[in-house]
Amino acid sequence: MRKVFIQTYGCQMNEYDTQQMLQVLATKGFERAESPDKAHLIVINSCSVREKSENKALSQLGRFAALKKQDPSKVLAFGGCVGQTEGSKLRSRYPFLDFVFGTNNYRDLPEMISEYENQWPSAEEEDVLLPRSRPEAQAQAFITITNGCDKFCSYCIVPFTRGREYSRTPEDILKEAAALTQKGVQEIMLLGQNVNSYWGKNKQGAFTSLYDLMVLFQEESEKSLKGLKRLRYTTSHPRDFDENLARAFSELPVLCEYLHLPFQSGSDSVLRKMRRFYTADTYLKKIEMVKRYRPDIALSTDIIVGFPGETRQDFEDTLRVIKEVEFDNIYAFKYSARPYTRSEAWVDDVSFDEKADRIQELIQFQRTFGAKKYKEDIGNMVEIMLEGPSKTNAEFWTGRTRKNRVVHLPTDAQFKVGELRYTKIFDATHSWLSGELIPSGIVPLQGARRSA
Ligand code: 5AD
Ligand code: SF4
């Protein structure tokens, strides 16, 4: 059997693309290899959003090159965001690469690999339509609803790696969702660089917003999407986050009460330079609005530290927003200049050490708020989706609540990945919960807080 190993970097969009590549390659007889040394074809699906992510993919390429040296019949390909913009440069810099591709042409993989056919076991030996060549049925799945971005934030390479914003049709999305729920998927994450600006045209020519699309998901969860229990989406831009989307959290039971809303900086002058088109105050007003509709919503965000010209005062404005919102989690990144962006030309004047110090300060500062939010669950009965044995301690399994909080609980021989169970939470840190299992069949009392 032909085997492929794909090493994925970056966001969920890249993970989704990897799944799509595996499906495309399955039509050519490829099955997933557990490790790169067992693969005939090795693919890197790269990310270029920050300098560090790009460097990670490139150093991995060096390690794969060593494998190829030992076994020259292995085919080595480089795809994804770095491949999209730097394709030809990569080929001349790394001559051992067999081929390079981008985010918009992975569907052509069958043609790209055709010249290596004779290096691999023949595909005809296997019936490629055997179910085992398809991805395993899983309880959680992603669906891309938009691709690309038209926002052109001054620091961001995404509009160049993913191109102009494009929305899939609602019919297409619902069809993919129905196929997934029929395979046992209970949780769907709608993906896009900015899903809030989703604007899909249906067959009749009418436009569908993200809110309209989620209403369709809710309605269909009793029909063509039977079995769908949880719906999420990411990622959002504060500018496009409107009242309908806030109301959806109180109106649509299938929509999990969790929102990732990146604010990047709490300083209005930095936000202006970032071309984000909102202020700290308008961001806070949107948070207030969503909390009005759903007071127990869990929130997370992205922050860039050390943007060109960021002063101590600007950084303190960011701390102020963190204090006001009380996020569950924050994802903080040191600014790095990226090719093609506007800010690439600006002096990267906050030193690396200063950025590192600010990140540390921010993480410390956040801990108090994270712990406060997670501790709110102590004593509650919460629904979790089981995700598998804990990586560090075989006596524990992990599950995830609707609020996206990780729960550790003692292993039970009956556990199955993807199962929805109830736990009682008895302890919490700033980033995870401890729970004990409530025997199946016992449904939380009316009035008990159903969600976490
Ligand atoms: N430098 C640092 N962080 C960045 N991000 C995007 N571009 C850059 C950059 N040039 C961060 C933003 C975004 C997240 C995915 O990555 O916070 O929300
Ligand atoms: Fe990048 Fe801004 Fe688009 Fe997000 S909204 S992908 S940060 S350009």
> Does residue 434 sit within a domain?
yes
CATH number, domain with residue 198: 3.80.30.20
Report the separation in Å between the CA atom of 3 and the middle of ligand 1, taken as the mean of its atom positions: 34
pLDDT tens digit string along 312-325?
Answer: 999 999 999 999 99
Q: What is the pTM (predicted TM-score) of this model?
A: 0.92
> Does residue 128 sit within a domain?
no
- Partners of 408 in beta bridges: 398, 434
Q: What pLDDT, on a 0 to 100 scale, did the predictor assign at position 440?
A: 73
> Does residue 209 sit within a domain?
yes
Residue 274 CA: which ligand is closest? 2
HSE-CB at 295 with a 13 A cutoff on CA atoms is 2
Contact 227, 184 (CB under 8 A): yes
Nearest atom in ligand 1 to the alpha carbon of residue 302 is: 17
Residues 369 and 225 grouped into a single domain: yes
Report the separation in Å between the CA atom of 234 and the middle of ligand 2, taken as the mean of its atom positions: 12
Report the separation in Å between the CA atom of 336 and the middle of ligand 1, taken as the mean of its atom positions: 8
Residue with the nearest Cα to atom 4 of ligand 2?
193
Query: Which residue among 339, 357, 375 closes a domain?
Result: 375
Residues 261 and 154 grouped into a single domain: yes
pLDDT tens digit string along 129-138?
Answer: 333 333 444 8
pLDDT tens digit string along 19-53?
Answer: 999 999 999 999 999 999 999 999 999 999 999 99
Mutation test of ligand 2: which of 13, 156, 165, 235 has the most ligand atoms closer than 8 Å to its C-beta?
156
Residues 75 and 158 grouped into a single domain: no
> Does residue 124 sit within a domain?
no
Which range, of 58-72, 134-148, 348-362, averages the lowest pLDDT? Answer: 134-148
Residue 194 CA: which ligand is closest? 2
Residues 313 and 441 grouped into a single domain: no
pLDDT tens digit string along 386-396?
Answer: 999 988 888 99
Higher pLDDT, 104 or 127: 104
Residue 192 CA: which ligand is closest? 2
Q: What pLDDT, on a 0 to 100 scale, did the predictor assign at position 272?
A: 98
Report the separation in Å between the CA atom of 332 and the middle of ligand 1, taken as the mean of its atom positions: 9
Q: What pLDDT, on a 0 to 100 scale, did the predictor assign at position 139?
A: 93
Domain residues for 216? 140-375
Contact partners, residue 242, CB within 8 Å, separation at least 6: 196, 211
pLDDT tens digit string along 112-166?
Answer: 999 998 888 877 544 433 333 334 448 999 999 999 999 999 999 999 999 999 9
Query: Which residue among 119, 153, 170 closes a domain?
Result: 119
pLDDT category of residue 452 using cuts at 50, 70 and 90: very low
Q: What pLDDT, on a 0 to 100 scale, did the predictor assign at position 445?
A: 56
> Does residue 241 sit within a domain?
yes
Tokens of 170: 């609602």
pLDDT tens digit string along 266-280?
Answer: 999 999 999 999 999
Nearest partner of 335 among 317, 366, 309, judged by Cα: 309
- Residues flanking ligand 1, CB < 6 Å: 49-50, 155-156, 262, 264, 302, 304, 333, 335-336, 338
CA distance 349 to 215: 46
Residues 212 and 341 grouped into a single domain: yes
Query: What is the overall mean pLDDT for the chain?
Result: 93
Residue 444, pLDDT above cutoff 80: no
Residues 105 and 86 grouped into a single domain: yes
Q: What pLDDT, on a 0 to 100 scale, did the predictor assign at position 53?
A: 96
Average pLDDT over every residue of 184-209: 96
Tokens of 359: 């990140």
Residue 364, pLDDT above cutoff 80: yes
Q: What pLDDT, on a 0 to 100 scale, did the predictor assign at position 121?
A: 81
- Single-letter amino acid code for the residue at 105: N
Distance of CA 330 to the CA centre of its chain: 14
Q: What pLDDT, on a 0 to 100 scale, did the predictor assign at position 35?
A: 95
Residues 57 and 199 grouped into a single domain: no
Q: What pLDDT, on a 0 to 100 scale, did the predictor assign at position 392?
A: 84
Nearest atom in ligand 1 to the alpha carbon of residue 264 is: 17
Residue 241, pLDDT above cutoff 70: yes
* End-to-end CA gap in the chain: 44
Residue 282, pLDDT above cutoff 70: yes
Residue 452 to residues 262, 298, 311, Cα–Cα distance (Å):
21, 9, 38
Query: Which residue among 375, 390, 419 closes a domain?
Result: 375
Residue with the nearest Cα to atom 1 of ligand 1?
335
Residue 307 CA: which ligand is closest? 1
Structurally, how many domains does the chain consist of?
3
